[in-house]
Structures are given as C-alpha cells and as structure tokens.
Chain A
Amino acid sequence: MRGRVRTVAGVLIVLVLLFPLYWMLNASLQPSGALLRPTPEFLPLPATLDGYREALATQGGHLLSSLVVAGGTVLVSLLIATPAAYSLARLPWRGGPVFVFALLIVQMIPGIVMANSLYALFGSLGLIDNYLGLVLADSTATVPFAILVLRAFMVAIPRELSEAARVDGAGYWRTFTSVIVPVSRNAVITAGLFSFLFAWADFLFAVTLTTGQGIEPVTVGIYRFVGNQTADWNGVMATAVLASVPAAILLVVAQRYVVAGMTGGAVKE
C-alpha cells in the first residue's frame, strides 16, 4: 500500500475506534431532551454546558474524593516501592528473587478476593468510608507494579554511577537519595502516573469499601448516576468526560512513558 493511502486508512481506523469517545463528548454537550429524540444529533449544535454544570454540582465532591485517594495512593506506592526497587536491583541477596516472584504472583490475585477480605479487615479497623482505607486498598494493586517497573529501570543504571558515590564515601542511604532516585526520575514518574491512573479509575474497592454514607469516589458516582432509571445522559456523559481528564492528560504529556511502564510491570525485560 502506498504511504498516503495508508495514512488515510489509518485515520479511518482511528475514527471508527474512537467513535465511542466522540459520542460521549457529543452527548455531554447536548440538552437532555435532544438525546431522547428518535434520531440522534451527530453534532452537538447548539451546544450547552448544562451537563457540566450538573456534573460539577452533583459529582464535584466525588471528583475531589478521587483526587485525594489517587494522590495518596501515589505517595504510599512510591514511598514503599522506590527503596524496595533499589534493594532488589542493586543489593543482591538470596531473598530478592523470591520476593520478585511473590510480587508477580500477587498481581494475579483477582481484585474481588482482595475486596472481600479487606472489607472484613477494614470493618474491624474502622477503615470503611475512609480515605486511608481506600488508599491502602488501591495500593495493593500499585505497590507490586511500581516495584517491578522501578526495579526493571534501576537494573539498567550503570554500576559506575553508584560505585563512584561509594568511593566518595557515601553510604547506602546517601547513594540512594543522591544518585539512584535522581537518575531514576523518569521511572518514578511512570510508576507514579500509573498508580494515579489506577487509583483514579478504581471501582471495585471504591464500591465495596464505602457505604454511600461517607466519601464516594467519582467511579461510584457514575455507577449510581447510570443505575438511576431516569438517567440523565447529558449529565452522566459530562461526568464521564470529566473523569477521563487524567487519562487524556497522561496520553498527551507522558505518552512515551506509557508503553515502557506497561511492559516494565507485566512483561519480562
């Protein structure tokens, strides 16, 4: 196939596969009444921001809750994962490989199992309807992933760098903070972004570890919004667009990290 023909075909493929996203945007900008006509409008004209006003009014608090939970998850994940990755990548001992294997295996445990037992555990600890509870639950998915991503990166740091620090008299902690972490900045960003994205998108822990009486992340907000029989699709789709913002930002800002991050956590190097 000639280059230009391929480009046209490529654009068509993207248009077809991204149509659902266009349809979400389209519905979010139309008045509710227009969405219930027999034939849908393919362009949101005249556009209205009513959906977004409603989304912010009813789901704004949920968006903030999600932000707090996702931010907290990034913090907890990186604080635990970065030193662990340094240890596994740079300070070999017999227990290291066993631990890496354990991390690979725990990633296979279905979330519903974790939700089931964490519900029981958190119930007795008073961590239901609690930010810390959700952060800790979400980090069960992000900590193993972050360790594996960071370790895969740190293994590739030239030994001369840390050895030079050692020669200059730096201890392990000093080497870690002033050489390893700065050099690993990109990997730390990758692990942090993915942790944020996971916690932001989490629905399973959010729906099992909250009761609707306290905090409620936006994923649960959308779920209940949609479940409502008189669903107002304009408002639902506006909320969906707002909830997609982190993923869109990630794609634009950090696109080149995405593939590296995904393969680093899941696939052998």
Chain B
Amino acid sequence: MSRRAAAIAFLLPALLYVLVFFGYPLVYNILMSVRDYSVRSFYTGEAPFVGVANYLAAIGNPVFGKAALNTVWFTVGSIAFQFGIGLALAVFFNGRFLGSATLRALLLLPWLLPLVVSGAVWRWMFDQDHGVLNTALRLVGLPAVPWLTDTGWALPAVILTNIWIGIPFNLVLLHGGLRAIPGSLYEAAALDGANAWQRFRDVTWPLLRPVTWIVLMLGLVYTIKVFDVIMVITGGGPANATQTLTTFSYSLSFHDFAFGQGAAIGNVLILVATGFGFVYLRSAREPLA
C-alpha cells in the first residue's frame, strides 16, 4: 500500500464523520434559514422557499436588538474581568512558594464542573430571600438585591457567574505564558533597579502579548456562544433582560418552533464566531503539518 493510500485510509472515518456531521448540518442550516420551517415540515417535508424573510423577521423581532446588545455586554464584561483576575492570579501563583502548584490545581475545579451545576449553585446563591449573597449584603448593612427578578440586575448576575467560570481558563493559559519568560530577564531588570510594577510593565506584559492575544480570542469565541449558564440561572428572563443571540436562537427554534428564524440567527452567530476564529488562527499561525 502506498503511503498516500495509507494516509487516506486512516483518515477516512474522520473525513466521513466531518462531512456527515459538520458538512451536512451546515448546509442544512443555511437551507433551513431560507425556508419556512415549522414543526409540520419535519413530518410533511414541505417547507416553502421564503428567501431572506426569516432573517428579516428575526432581526425585526424587538428582542433581537436587546439580545445583540446583551451579547456584547455579556462578552465584554465576562472577558474583561476573567482576563484581569486570571492575569493577576497567574502572576501571583507564578511565584514559588509552599503549596503554589496544589492551590493552582484546586482553582481548576470551577472550570471542570458541568456548567449546569455552576449555574444551579449560583442561582441558589442569588436567591433574593435565602441566598448567601444577600445575607452578606445585609451583614454589612446594605439592602438585599433582587438579583434574578430585576431587569437591571439579572444581566450583571449572569455575567458575574460567567466570570467565575472563566477565571481558571485564563489563569492556566496565562500562567503557562509566564513560565515561558526567561528568569534572566527579570534578574537583569532587577539589577537595573526596576521595581515590581516596572518589571511587569516592561518585561512581563510585552512578552506575554502572544498568549494574551490567544486567550482573548478563544475567550471571545467561547463566550459568544454561552448557553447553559444563562438557561439555568434566568432562562433569558426576566423580560428578556438576559437574552443573548444564542438563547434567542434557541427560543425561536425550540419554543416558537420558528426553525427557519432560529437557523437565521444561528448563521449570524457562525459568521461572528468564525470571524474571530480566523483572526485567532491568523495570529496563532503554525505550520499545520
């Protein structure tokens, strides 16, 4: 058997898999977005072609603008704090001290838990009357906050949860980046009389830039499609206050059974996510084989 034939033979199951389970759904999703799909369509096979009507209907839906804006807030808020806290922790745990590796490993746990579990725990902590967050506020003399029932508080609440979930991811990748910076650079900077802040600004930050970029881009791609956390904590409510494009797409397809419109929003999400994905892949370019 020639090497090329062997290469293709070993790759064949994966090739078929990708064609069937990514190629087909993607094409199907595009077709679905330009047809009038209803529950009945799945049985009768009838789904008349409607062109861009689904896109117009979904975008014209008053919820769309709110969901788009929420998606931006959710993404920017989550990433800014996950990254900031993750970086601070990475710098802190980069120092050698007793237990540093073990403590850092423990911090991975929130990232490995099922998102539904994290969502359920935070929903319990956000409980207005019995939640521990409001207990803490009362202890220091502040009024209780209607975290999940007030349209102004619900989005900050789900963002807070998502920040907590995202910290370990940022911590681990940034810590890996820090470890790759040669210690001799810090020694040289210290000899030149640089203080801790100057060492961070002039050595750590510039040398960490490639990893920073990767962390932010991956964070964007992942955060835009967050679903579980929002569904479990608020279900997109109250009054669509926490609806994002992802939950909006779900709700169009699986609550309103407007599968064409759900697919249309899905395609918008693909464009945004792969757009950031391409930026990421360009910056993290590697010899691919």
Interface residues of A (CB under 8 A from B): 1, 3-4, 6-7, 9-11, 13-14, 17-18, 20-21, 23-24, 27, 35-40, 79-81, 83-84, 86-88, 91-93, 95-97, 99-121, 123-124, 136, 139-140, 143-144, 147, 171-172, 176, 197, 200-201, 203-204, 207-208, 219, 222-223, 226-227, 233, 236-237, 240, 243-244, 247-248, 250-251, 255, 258-259, 262-263, 266-269
Contact = CB atoms under 8 A, between A and B. Distances in A.
B84 interface: no
Given A4-B98, A10-B92, A267-B284, A93 B8 contact: yes
B13 A80 contact: yes
A83 B11 contact: yes
Contact of A106 (B1, B4, B22, B259): B22
Given A91-B3, A104-B277, A109-B22, A81 B95 contact: no
**A-side binding surface: helix, strand, loop or mixed?**
helix
B274 interface: yes
A203 B113 contact: no
26 contacts: A7-B99, A20-B122, A24-B117, A38-B129, A79-B13, A83-B13, A87-B9, A93-B7, A96-B7, A96-B289, A99-B18, A113-B26, A113-B267, A113-B270, A116-B263, A117-B26, A117-B263, A120-B37, A143-B18, A201-B113, A203-B116, A226-B120, A233-B130, A251-B109, A259-B172, A263-B173
Interface stretch (B58-66, B150-158, B201-209, B247-255): B247-255
Contact of B100 (A6, A92, A243): A6
Contact of A136 (B21, B115, B232, B250): B21
B188 interface: no
A12 B198 CA distance: 27
A101 B114 contact: no
A6 B26 CA distance: 51
Contacts of A144: 18
Interface stretch (B49-57, B75-83, B220-228): B220-228
A21 to B, nearest CB: 7
Contact of A116 (B99, B100, B266): B266
Interface of B is mostly: helix
Given A100-B288, A100-B289, A109-B22, A92 B7 contact: yes
Max chain B C-beta neighbours (<10 A), residue from A20, A84, A105: A20
Interface of B: 1, 3-4, 6-11, 13-15, 17-18, 21-22, 24-26, 28-29, 32, 37, 42, 89, 92-93, 95-100, 103, 105-110, 112-125, 129-130, 132, 135, 164, 167, 169, 172-173, 176, 214, 218, 221, 224-225, 227-228, 231-232, 235, 246, 249-250, 253-254, 259, 262-263, 266-267, 269-270, 273-274, 276-277, 281, 284-286, 288-289
B139 to A, nearest CB: 9
Given A112-B227, A116-B263, A14 B107 contact: yes
A230 B135 CA distance: 21
B109 A21 contact: yes
A223 to B, nearest CB: 6
A23 B116 contact: no
